[in-house]
Amino acid sequence: MTTRLTQALRHLADEVPATSVPEELFDAARTRHRRRRTVVAAVVVVLVLLAGTGYALRPVALPAPATPRVDEPGLPTRLVVPPLRTASVRESAPGAAALLFGGPAVRTDWFENRMGVLAADADRYRVLDAGTNVPGFEALLSPDGRYAWERGRLYDLTTGSTVPGAPIGQPLAFAPDGTRLVYAADGTFTPPNTYATPYVGVYDRSSRAEVLRVRVGSAWIPPGRTAALSPDGGELALQVRDEVWLTRVADAGADRSAEPYRRLPLTGGRLAGAGSWPPDGRSVAVLERSTCTDCPMPSYPRTWRLATRAVTDAVARPAAAFPELRSRSYVQVLGWRSADEAVALVGVPGPEAVDRPEEHDIAWGPYHELGTEAVELVLLRRGAPAPEVLLRTPAGITELAVAADLAVDGDVRPSGRPDYGPPPFWLVALWLLGAAALAVPLLALLRHWRGRRTGARPPRAVTRRGPGAPG
């Protein structure tokens, strides 16, 4: 029975016609399988690259790179505008800086709050996002160049990190040794258009504590050149309206507040800035303003003259005069080389600058000094006919803060090839996204090319016989 059934089934199988299957059917299946494996592998590789690169390039503070250094740090002979690929201070610390700078050439529509940082010992350029704070006014550089200070944040430029405990308020001045910081507490607004500063404080960085508060009533203390600490950091000179208040840190009580021991009338002058204490500590420097009729820019007649007044009676002592600063929008004294030589920053007004009335003389910054087009670092020497220009910013850089120690010492180093640091994370991410976006059309093109290549092959039939048929 079983043998007869087997013979019948073999007979039926022999009568089944052979089936022809085109060879390209198997090739197409194999191609689809390979293509799917290729796409999956490409996606996995891209994801691994993005994740790995994102982890490797996460924002961390890197130490200053080991670039060739000059024999002595100093001010550069050339200043350039850092490009968009410049690394940030947080990602790559520049080390102690010579300059903080800003202006239209440094900012862009996408990076509106950008300022540049230049190291003191090499042409290492980095950038810092410090809000709308203006270098030299709302953003300051410590005398040794190690710290950059803007509202509420103190950056250590040797590590790229922020220093905890920085005072919250408007920066006014560093002490000459950089250990103490003078700030104005955030002002209060009284409608319709009145601001007042509750107090001015002195913060000691080594003890991380406030050591002095001076109540200024309803006065408003603008940044730029309204406060100065004595060479030993123990005495504060503060401009309050048309007076200079002198207060000793040692006089602070248990609540850290103290009253000024002397109030000097300015009689039309202005405190000269963070370097307003000459080396002897017995006088303060003030800026006397006048109007000239023969300035090179008749549309901007503001002229400044530096003078020193005794802290006892505010009387100017007989001495040779400092040279006039003609047609300049503002002046900030940084420090002194001797009792007869002062180093200062001055604003250079452009052709469209317009002088402001006397009541608006104290500027918030170059934004409010309409038409400032450059900043000069100058040496003012008693008896000299004109100031000596040590450094001038190039076009588009209108804001400047300088490490006072370098400016006072007169240290200058030759400028070399700029170092902009490693590419920032956002730029690497754009590169990777662009590579991933480019990989998609390339894979599609490869698929199309392989399909055309497979379709060009001549079809070849494969004959399959039924079960039991002879091979």
- Confidence at 64, pLDDT banded by 50, 70, 90: very low
Query: Is CATH 2.60.60 what the domain over 75-413 is classified as, yes or no?
Result: no
Closest CA to 140 of 171, 114, 166, 112: 171
Kindly state the percentage of the chain with pLDDT values over 70: 69
For 266-409, strand residue ranges (E) read 269-271, 283-291, 302-310, 325-326, 331-338, 341-349, 372-381, 388-392, 399-402
Q: Which residues make Cβ contacts (< 8 Å) with residue 40, sequence separation at least 6?
A: none
pLDDT for the residue numbered 234? 94
Considering the chain, what is the average pLDDT of its residues? Answer: 81
Interior angle at CA 128, CA 67 and CA 428, nearest 5: 70
Least confident among 76-90, 347-361, 444-458? 444-458
390 vs 471, higher pLDDT: 390
For residue 178, is it left (φ>0), alpha (ψ between -120 and 50) or beta?
A: left
pLDDT value of position 453: 57
Looking at the chain, which residues constitute the CATH 2.130.10 domain(s)?
75-413
* Contact call for residues 149 and 140 (beta carbons, < 8 A): yes
Mind listing the pLDDT tens digit for each residue in 150-164? 988 999 999 999 999
Between 100 and 194, where is the model more confident?
Answer: 100
The residue length of the chain stands at: 471
pTM above the 0.95 mark?
A: no
> Dihedral of CA 373/170/274/363: which sign?
positive
Query: Are 234 and 246 contacting, i.e. CB atoms less than 8 angstroms apart?
Result: no
CA atoms of 14 and 466, how far apart (whole Å): 7
